[in-house]
Amino acid sequence: MADLEQRTPDILPERPVTFGMPDGRELHLYGPFQGTPSWPWLEGNTDGSFSHRRWHALRREWVVYSAHRQTRTYKPPANDCPFCPMAPEGELPLQEFSIAVFDNKFSALQKDAPTPQPIPGLDIPLASAVGNCEVIVYSSDHNASMASLPLERRERLVRVWGDRIRALMAIPDVQVVMPFENRGEEAGVTLHHPHGQIYAFSYQPPIIEKMAQSFREGYDLSKLTRLPQYVVADTATAAALVPPFTRFPYEMWIVPKRFCATPAELTAAEVTDVAELLAHVANTYDAFFGRICPYVMIVYAAPKGLEDVFPFHIQFQPLLRSPTKMKFVAGVEVGAGSFLVDILPETAAQNLRNVEVTS
């Protein structure tokens, strides 16, 4: 059990200025911004589409079906980016902003998703897709990235993750909140403005469910920060490391040395160290591969009811195994779920430690 006294952060929580959008969504602005947003083009524009879940009888997991997402924005030109300030009929009609969070127009999960009606002839369980999906835009600068954001902005980003996790976990049905970022078209990015997403689930997805079981059984994630052969970058309160059981070549995790269930519990020093490591990891990948490295970054925080055992940490899964070779998930990995890795974690950690990073 973690000591609750040790979890008290020494910084004020990040809180937003919130605006209601005409289609029922909300915009939350963190930090300074210029302008007062309005969306006249959204007046009377409510979609009314809902997702639902179906139980995969063989994999024993829920699959979410969201037919309305087929029409979502796909690779618009830079001069028509809906996340840029004052873009025509864009999401962020402002002159400038620091960090913006808003409900995804093409949400895979909905707070008021109804119970689906039975499908004739289908004998598998169905369930509502209750939850929420948010977009988190890191900067009003279309050309920024996690690696290029100033330290102050990355510190605010860590605190915003904490605040959004707090706000979404307050929804009664929500069990898990997971911020993440897909970087690069190879990772599925369809909008190049620097941004991530935040999913709030009303159930524990299978990977998080397995992680939760390990933490309930007493697995100590922080012990990896004390194994120098796996540590790539070290700070006083957190480490970036290659876990000894990677599934992706050159996978790196950011792990605080003190147990925290959520980023909202980090102290000011811990926020700074995590923010420093976010840029260090992204810059290390780009320097090591000699190109912009596509990756998936996942922010894990404790599911509801597991705040004493499930530690906040961040996982980076790069999609390259060399500058010219992608790590494809295929064949045995898709069909059997058994990953094949060509680089030993110990070798990967050593290679990444040797990278000269300029930030």
Would you name the residues annotated as active-site residues?
195
- Measure the CA–CA gap between 272 and 41, rounded to whole angstroms: 40
Which contiguous run of DSSP H or E holds residue 233?
A: strand 231-234
The DSSP output letter for 196 is E
Q: 87-107 burial, b for 16+ CB within 10 Å, e for fewer?
A: beebbbbbeebbbbbbbbbeb
Taking alpha carbons only, the member of 37, 141, 148, 138 closest to residue 81 is 141
- Measure the CA–CA gap between 4 and 1, rounded to whole angstroms: 9
Tell me the two tokens of residue 274. Answer: 């995590």
Order of strands, edge to edge, in the sheet holding 61-65?
61-65, 52-56, 126-128
**What are the backbone dihedrals phi and psi of residue 134, each rounded to the nearest 5 degrees, phi first?**
-120, 155
Amino acid found at 303: P
CB atoms within 10 A of CB 289: 19
